[in-house]
Structure 1
Amino acid sequence: MAAIKPGRPGGRHRRPAERQATYGEVLAIGEFRALWAGQALSLLGDQLSRVALSVLVFERTESPLATASVYALTYLPPIVGGPLLSGLADHYARRRIMIVCDVLRALLVALMAIPGTSFTALCVLVFCVVLLSAPFSAARAALLPELLEGDRYVAGSALQNMTNQAAQMLGFAIGGALIMGMGPYRALALDAATFMASALILVSGVRRRAAPARSGSGRPSMWKMTRAGARLVFGDPRLRTLVLFAWLCGFYVLPEGIATPYAAALTDDPQRVSFVAGLLMGSIPTGTVVGAFLFSRYVSPSGRLRSMGWMAMLTCAPLILCALRPPLAVVLVLWFVSGVGGAYQLAANAAFVRCVPAERRGQAFGLVQSGLLAAQGLGILIGGAAADEFGPEPVVALAGAAGLLVAATLAMLWTDSRKEIIERVRAEAPA
C-alpha cells in the first residue's frame, strides 16, 4: 500500500476550525453593553446637535460661510489635539478618562444651550467639545480589547460600526423634525443630557481598572508621548500598512461630501435635489452596515485578513464607473457596493490591536483616528473644489481610480505582513 503523503487529507493533524464569535456572546458581556449604549446615546445627541448648530448659526448670521465654518470645527480639533491628548488614555485609568470627558462635554454643551450665547462663544465651545472626543475615543478604543478577546473583538467592533452608521442616518433623519418641534436650544440641552447619561452608564456599567502599567519614573510630556506613539505606529511595517489601510477612506468617503451637487446633476427638478442627495448620502453607510454584518458573521477570522486587500479595492473600484454618468439607480448600487467593501476596516482594526502593546493602545488609536479625520476632511475639501471645476461625476471617478491604485499597492504590501498575524489567529483557535 502506498504511503500517505504529507499534506493529503488524513496525512497530518488538521488545524482546528476557526470559531467565529456571535453578537449574542458580545452583548452578554455587561461592560461591553455599557460602552455600546453610552456610545449610541452620545452619537445620537451629536448628530442632533450638528443639525441644531447649523440651524442656530444660520438663523443668527444668515451666512452660509459661518454655518460651514462651525461645521468644519467638528473636524479640526481631533486633527490638532488628537495626537497630543490621546496619550492620556495610556497614563490614566481609561474608565476615569471617559467619565471625565463625558461630564465636561455635558457642561460645555449645556452652556451652548443658553439662549443668546454669542457666535464667538459658540465656536469656542464647539471646539472644546469636539477636542474632548479625542481622549474619550482613545480610551474607549484601548479598553475594548480588554473586554473582548479574540474574535469577540471583531464582532463587537462590527456591532459598534453598524451602530455608528445607524445613529448617523437616524440622527440626521429625525434631527430636523425634532428641531422644528423643540427649537435648537432645547435640542442642544438634549445633547447635553445624552453626555450625562453616557457618564452615568459608564459609572454603573464599567468596573474600575488601574491605570496602564508604565515603565520608568515620572510622567512624560504630551510632545514626548506623541513622538513615541508616532515611532511605534510608523516604525513597524505592519502597523504602517494597517494605518494606511484605515486612511484609504479619504478616497471612498469623498462622494458623500459632494452628494448634493451630484444629486443636482442627476435631476432637473430643484425640489428633488435634497431627496436625491439624501439617498446618495445614505447609500454608502447602508452598504457599510450590510458589509460589516456579512463580513463579521460569515467570513472566518483568517479569511478576513486574507481578503482585506481585495475588499479595500472593492471600496474604490465601483466609483470609477461614475465616469459613464449612469442614472440614479445605478449610482446608488455603485455607492452601496463601495460601502460593502468598507467592511475591511474591521479586519484592519483587529489586526492593529494584535500588533500594538496593550499599554500603548490609547496613543496609537488616537494617532490613527486623527489621521482618519484628516483624510476624510481633506478628501472632501479637495473633492468639492475639483467638482466646481470639472463636475461631480468625473471627480468621483478620479477618486475611485486613485483609491484603487493605492489600495492595490497596500494589498501587495499586506501579503507579506499578514502571514504572522494569520498564524497567531489560527493558533488561538480552540482545539
Structure 2
Amino acid sequence: MGAMRARRPPGRHRRAGTPRVTYREVIAVREFRALWFGQGLSLLGDQLAQVALAVLVYDRTGSPLATAAVYALTYLPSIVGGPLLAGLADRFARRGVMLACDLLRAGLVAAMAVPGLPFWALCVLVFFVVLLSAPFSAARAALLPEILDGDAYVMGSALQNMTNQAVQMVGFAAGGAMIAAIGPYRALALDAATFLGSALIIVSGVRRRPAPGRDGAKPSMWTMTKGGAKLVFGSRKLRTLVLFAWLCGFYILPEGIAAPYADTFSDEALPVPVVTGLLMAAMPTGTVIGAFLFSRFVSPPRRLQLMGWMAMLSCAPLIVTALRPPLEVVLAAWVLSGIGGAYQLAANAAFVQSVPAERRGQAFGLVQSGLMAVQGIGILVGGFAAERLGPEPVVALAGVGGVTCAAVLTMMWTESRDKTARVRAQAAA
C-alpha cells in the first residue's frame, strides 16, 4: 500500500470482479491526505469560530437579533457570490486558488481577533471570509476527482464526509468549554492559524497542476457562470442529480428548530440544552454510520440503484414526529434519517462523472450555492412555521414534503438510467 503513487490513484484500470477500493488505499494517496487533513483542520477552526462569534456578538450587543444576523452572514455570501466566484477554480490553477483563499481568510480572521473592532467591521469581515470559501470549496471539489478516480473517489468523498460530521460534533461540543477557557478573541486567532496550517499542508502535499480549460483567451466570469448554469440545468440527468443534492433542505430543517423541539421534552430528566445537543448530534451521527456502510459494503452500481430509496429514507423517519413520540424514538428517527442521507455519495459520484473536468469548479460552485440556499431557506421557513404550529408538526411536514419530492426524483432517475441503458445497448448492437 505504501508504494502507491498519487499519479495513479486507486480505482483506475481495475478489472471487473476485483475487490473494491478500501479506505486504507485511499488514505495511502499523499495528495488526498493533504486535502483531507487540511480540510479537517480548517473546519475544526471554523466550528470554534462560529461559537466564538456567537459569544462575542451577544456579549458586546446583548441582542439576539444581532447574533442571528451575524449567523445569517454565514449563508448569504455563498448564495450571492458563490456561483460567480466558483468559476475561479476553472479559470486558474486550482491549487493556487486554494492557497490564495486560505491566506486571505487567515488575514481576515486575524483582523476579527483584534479587540475593540466595531460591530459593522466584524460583519464585513465575516462576509468576506465566508465569500472566499466558495472558490476554495469549488477548487477542492474539482481537484479531488483528479486525485482519486472511480470507486476511490466515492470512498474518499465518504471519508471526507464522515470526517466533516465528526469534526462538527466535536467542534460544537468542545467549542463552548474552550472559549470559556481562552476567550473568544484567542479562539478567533486560533481559527486564523488553522487557515495557515491548511495552506502549509496544501503546499507540501498537493503537486502543481496547470489551470484547466483550453489555451488562449479566457472567457469572462459572467460568461463562465452562465455557461455553468446551462451545463448543469440544461441536462436532465445533471438536473435530477442536483435536485437530489438539494433535497437536504427538507431533512436539515429539524436541526434548525432543535432548541424549541427540545423544549417540548421539558418534563424529561435531562436539561433542555442537553436535549438540544442530542437532537443536533443525531443526524450527523446517522450520516457517519450511513456513509461508512454505504461506501464500504455496497457496490458502485448498487449505490445508483439504491439512491432513490435512500433519499426517501432520509425524510420518511421524520414523519413519526407527528405522533409526538418520546425522546428516544425521536433520536432514533433522526439517526435513521441521517443514515438515509448517505445517498448523497452516489449522487455526487454520478455528478462528477457527468461533468467535464475543466468545468467542474463552476458546476460544483453552483450546486454548493444552491445547497446553502435551500438549507438557509428551509431553516427560516421551519422556524417561522414552528412559532405557529409547534416543532413536531413542522418536522413531520418536512418529512412528508421530502418523501414526496424524493419519490418524484426517483422516478425521474430510474427513467433516465433506463434510457441510458437502452442507448448503450443499441450502440453495442
Do the aligned partners of 2:142 and 2:364 also contact (CA within 8 Å) in 1?
yes
Q: 1:120-158 CA distances to partner (integer Å, 9 max, x unpaired)?
A: 000000000000000000000000000001100000000
- Give the whole-Å Cα distance in 2 for the aligned partners of 1:157 and 1:261: 33
- The equivalences for 1:78-93 within 5 A come to 78-93=78-93
Tell me the CA shift for residue 317 of structure 1: 0.6
Partner of 1:209: 209
Amino acid at match of 2:288: V
Partner of 1:315: 314
Distance 1:327 1:372, change over 3 A: same
Partner of 1:147: 147
- The equivalences for 1:209-228 within 5 A come to 209-214=209-214, 217-228=216-227
- Give the whole-Å Cα distance in 2 for the aligned partners of 1:42 and 1:253: 23
Amino acid at match of 1:99: L
Do the aligned partners of 1:280 and 1:332 also contact (CA within 8 Å) in 2?
yes
- Give the whole-Å Cα distance in 2 for the aligned partners of 1:420 and 1:39: 38
Total equivalences in the alignment: 410
- The equivalences for 1:362-401 within 5 A come to 362-401=361-400
Tell me the CA shift for residue 266 of structure 1: 1.8
Which of 217-226 and 236-245 deviates more?
Answer: 217-226
Q: 1:291-319 CA distances to partner (integer Å, 9 max, x unpaired)?
A: 00000000000000000000000011111
Partner of 1:21: 21
Give the secondary-structure state (helix, strand or coil) at the position aligned to 1:253: helix
Do the aligned partners of 2:213 and 2:359 also contact (CA within 8 Å) in 1?
no
Give the secondary-structure state (helix, strand or coil) at the position aligned to 1:44: helix
For the pair 1:414 / 2:395, whether they are aligned, the reply is no
Do the aligned partners of 1:95 and 1:139 also contact (CA within 8 Å) in 2?
yes
Tell me the CA shift for residue 288 of structure 1: 0.3
Partner of 1:94: 94
| Percent of matched pairs sharing the same residue | 71
- Give the whole-Å Cα distance in 2 for the aligned partners of 1:155 and 1:331: 30
| Superposed CA RMSD | 1.7
Partner of 1:291: 290
Do the aligned partners of 1:43 and 1:167 also contact (CA within 8 Å) in 2?
yes
Tell me the CA shift for residue 18 of structure 1: 6.3
Do the aligned partners of 2:108 and 2:129 also contact (CA within 8 Å) in 1?
yes
- Give the whole-Å Cα distance in 2 for the aligned partners of 1:268 and 1:364: 48
Partner of 2:33: 33
Task: Give the TM-score normalised by the residue count of structure 2.
Answer: 0.93
Q: 1:151-192 CA distances to partner (integer Å, 9 max, x unpaired)?
A: 000000000000110111011011001101100000000000
Distance 1:188 1:28, change over 3 A: same
Task: Give the TM-score normalised by the residue count of structure 1.
Answer: 0.93
Tell me the CA shift for residue 19 of structure 1: 3.9
- Give the whole-Å Cα distance in 2 for the aligned partners of 1:417 and 1:231: 19
Tell me the CA shift for residue 228 of structure 1: 0.4
Partner of 1:6: none
- Give the whole-Å Cα distance in 1 for the aligned partners of 2:393 and 2:287: 23
For the pair 1:348 / 2:347, whether they are aligned, the reply is yes
Amino acid at match of 2:172: F
Amino acid at match of 1:136: F
- Give the whole-Å Cα distance in 1 for the aligned partners of 2:362 and 2:420: 22
For the pair 1:233 / 2:232, whether they are aligned, the reply is yes
Give the secondary-structure state (helix, strand or coil) at the position aligned to 1:24: helix
Tell me the CA shift for residue 387 of structure 1: 0.2
Partner of 1:8: none
Do the aligned partners of 1:316 and 1:401 also contact (CA within 8 Å) in 2?
yes
Tell me the CA shift for residue 262 of structure 1: 0.4
Tell me the CA shift for residue 231 of structure 1: 0.2
For the pair 1:190 / 2:190, whether they are aligned, the reply is yes
Amino acid at match of 1:16: A
Do the aligned partners of 1:18 and 1:301 also contact (CA within 8 Å) in 2?
no
Which of 357-366 and 413-422 deviates more?
Answer: 413-422
Tell me the CA shift for residue 223 of structure 1: 1.4
Tell me the CA shift for residue 420 of structure 1: 7.4
Amino acid at match of 2:355: V
- Give the whole-Å Cα distance in 1 for the aligned partners of 2:265 and 2:309: 30
Listed as ranges, the gaps of 5+ residues in structure 1 are 1-14, 425-431
- Give the whole-Å Cα distance in 1 for the aligned partners of 2:268 and 2:159: 38
- Give the whole-Å Cα distance in 1 for the aligned partners of 2:214 and 2:16: 37
Listed as ranges, the gaps of 5+ residues in structure 2 are 1-14, 424-429
Do the aligned partners of 1:242 and 1:348 also contact (CA within 8 Å) in 2?
yes
Partner of 1:254: 253
- Give the whole-Å Cα distance in 2 for the aligned partners of 1:421 and 1:160: 30
